[in-house]
Amino acid sequence: MNDPIAGIGSGGRVTLAHGGGTAMRDLIERLFLASFHPQGFPVQEDQARFDLAALAGHGDRLAFTTDSFVVEPLEFAGGDIGKLAVCGTLNDLAVGGARPVALSAAFIIEEGLELETLRRIVTSMASQAAAAGVSIVTGDTKVVPRGACDRLFITTTGIGVIAEAHHVSIAAARPGDVILVNGPLGDHGAAILCARGDLALGVSIESDCAPLHDLAATLLAAVPQVRAMRDATRGGLAGVLTELAEASRVAVTIEEKALPLRPEVAGLCEILGLDPLYLANEGKLVAVVPQEAAEVALAALRAHPLGAGAAIIGRVADAGRAGDVTLLNRFGGHRAVTMPAGEQLPRIC
């Protein structure tokens, strides 16, 4: 059986010719459309079209988000830039209480990128989208000269529908609320650091990259009164909690002994002087629920495959200055947790 991408590049690589004309059409049809629409190519309009009545049947508000991905390396333990692009956008919809509907994908490709690498990444995206029950319905490709970007950048945009009953907001936390996370922290940031190979670390850590929409839906079904949800990506848990405290005008206290953390990640942070609170995640949901619903929420998270390691990690304080986040350490001391000034590790997503 002939390889569908054979002969569309020079030496198996993307060329500047793929930026337009018949070469671009071959790349789009034989790689992108063949992966994203294996049942047959849709009519190639300049936009995707949706039945508004069908969307309204799932809720009364439309959620819309976009994100760009520039991770280095492109492939790493537990994922790749394509999986990251799909999951990252699905998760931004999910934490707003939205049911994902469709995605777009735009690719900035550096001249010389191996076509086989591009195929693996596009196939990964298609597989992840199909598993999540969403389609990649529109997109774009651009090819730039060598040195104008680093191999491949991807931008994904997603739309979803929010049910009438769900009113989740980063500004909705109240004193007495409980804060949960669905599993170990910092895996993605640690995995990217290991994948770069700059240090002989001798540990194997996989990214936690995963789609959170089903987990979020499970939590909302069990606890409709969820106040807030966020995925702890760049800036890690510390970034999410400081945003929560500022937006909700509350103080937050978390306990060090309650934070789920893999020994390998903890050891890596200790060796390199990193703070796991600031390490990036790509499959971690931070949820805020009323105190009376905390145990129900915890049980719902732990019953889901992506929440087996869920834990209650802190509370919205009854007193304290709005915007403050405090860590209670293992020895009874207190440490202020602040918004990170910058990313500990650049190009992690």
- Residues 156 and 186 reside in one and the same domain: no
Are 181 and 252 a contacting pair, CB within 8 Å?
no
Assign 344 a pLDDT band (cuts: 50, 70, 90).
Answer: low
Nearest CA among 154, 142, 162 for reference residue 101: 162
Residue 117 and residue 207 in one domain? no
Q: How far apart are CA 116 and CA 121, in angstroms?
A: 9
For residue range 287-337, what is the model confidence (pLDDT) as tens digits? 999 999 999 999 999 999 999 999 999 999 987 889 999 999 988 899 999
pLDDT above 80: residue 6: no
Residue 321 burial (10 A CB sphere; 0-12, 13-18, 19+): exposed
Reduce the DSSP state of residue 247 to 3 states and report it.
helix
Q: What length is written for the chain?
A: 349
Assigned domain for 25 exists: yes
Tell me, what's the pLDDT at 200? 64
**How far is CA 339 from each of CA 190, 227, 255, 273, 330, rounded to the nearest angstrom?**
20, 21, 18, 18, 22
> Does a structural domain hold residue 169?
no
Span 123-135, pLDDT tens digits = 999 999 999 999 9
**Do 232 and 329 have their domain in common?**
yes
Tell me the pLDDT of the chain averaged across its residues: 93
Distance of CA 251 to the CA centre of its chain: 26
| Residues 237 and 129 placed together within one structural domain of the fold | no
Q: How distant, in Å, are the alpha carbons of 4, 21, 107, 272 from that of 16?
A: 20, 11, 14, 41
What pLDDT is attached to residue 197?
A: 77
Q: How far apart are CA 348 and CA 339, in angstroms?
A: 18
- Cis peptide bond upstream of 290, omega within 30: no
Predicted pLDDT of residue 334 = 94
Same domain for 40 and 105, yes or no, is yes
| Adjacent-strand bridge partners of 52 | none
- Which amino acid appears at position 13 of this protein? R
In this structure, the number of other CB atoms found within 10 A of the CB of residue 6 comes to 10
pLDDT in tens, 85-101: 999 999 999 999 999 99
Instruction: Determine, yes or no, domain membership for 343.
Output: no
Helices 294-302 and 213-222, interaxial angle, to 10°?
140
The tens digit of pLDDT for each residue in 32-83 reads 999 998 887 777 888 999 889 888 888 889 999 999 999 999 999 999 999 9
pLDDT of amino acid 86 = 98
- Find the farthest-apart pair of alpha carbons in the chain and give their distance in angstroms, rounded: 69
Residues 275 and 319 in one domain: yes
Residue position matching structure tokens 């090819």: 143
Q: For the purposes of burial, counting CB atoms within 10 Å of the CB of 49, is it exposed (0-12), middle (13-18) or buried (19 or more)?
A: exposed
Query: What is the model's pLDDT at position 199?
Result: 67
Do the beta carbons of residue 33 and residue 107 sit within 8 Å?
Answer: no
Does one domain contain both 195 and 72?
A: no
Residue 343 has pLDDT above 70, yes or no: no
Q: Could you give the CA distance from residue 148 to residue 125 in angstroms, rounded to a whole number?
A: 24
Query: Where is the domain boundary, 109, 128, 162?
Result: 162
Measured CA to CA in angstroms, residue 331 lies from 7, 69, 338 at distances of: 64, 39, 20
Residue 105 has pLDDT above 70, yes or no: yes
- Residue 140 reports pLDDT greater than 90: yes
**What span, in angstroms and rounded, lies between the C-alpha atoms of 238 and 326?**
10
Task: Give percent above pLDDT 70 in the chain.
Answer: 97
Residue 167 falls inside a structural domain: no
Residues 6+ apart with CB under 8 A from 43: none
What percentage of the chain exceeds 90 in pLDDT?
Answer: 79
Q: Is 130 helix (H, G, I), strand (E, B) or coil?
A: helix
Q: Residue 3, SS3?
A: coil
Same domain as 194, residue 91: no
Please answer whether residues 281 and 241 qualify as being in contact, where contact means their C-beta atoms are separated by less than 8 angstroms. no
| DSSP single-letter state for residue 43 | P
Task: CATH number of the domain at 25, please.
Answer: 3.30.1330.10
Are 162 and 63 spatial neighbours (Cβ–Cβ below 8 Å)? yes
Q: Please check whether residue 342 lies inside any domain of the structure.
A: no
The model's pLDDT over 192-220, given as tens digits with 9 standing for 90+, comes to 999 987 666 677 899 999 999 999 999 99
226-253: average pLDDT: 96
Which CATH number goes with the domain that contains 256?
Answer: 3.90.650.10
Which of 162, 191, 213 is a domain's end point? 162
Compute the distance between CA of residue 278 and CA of residue 343 in angstroms, rounded to an integer: 8
Same domain, yes or no, for 188 and 310?
Answer: yes
Phi-psi region of 322 (alpha: psi -120 to 50; beta: other; left: phi over 0): beta
Domain that holds residue 199: 178-336
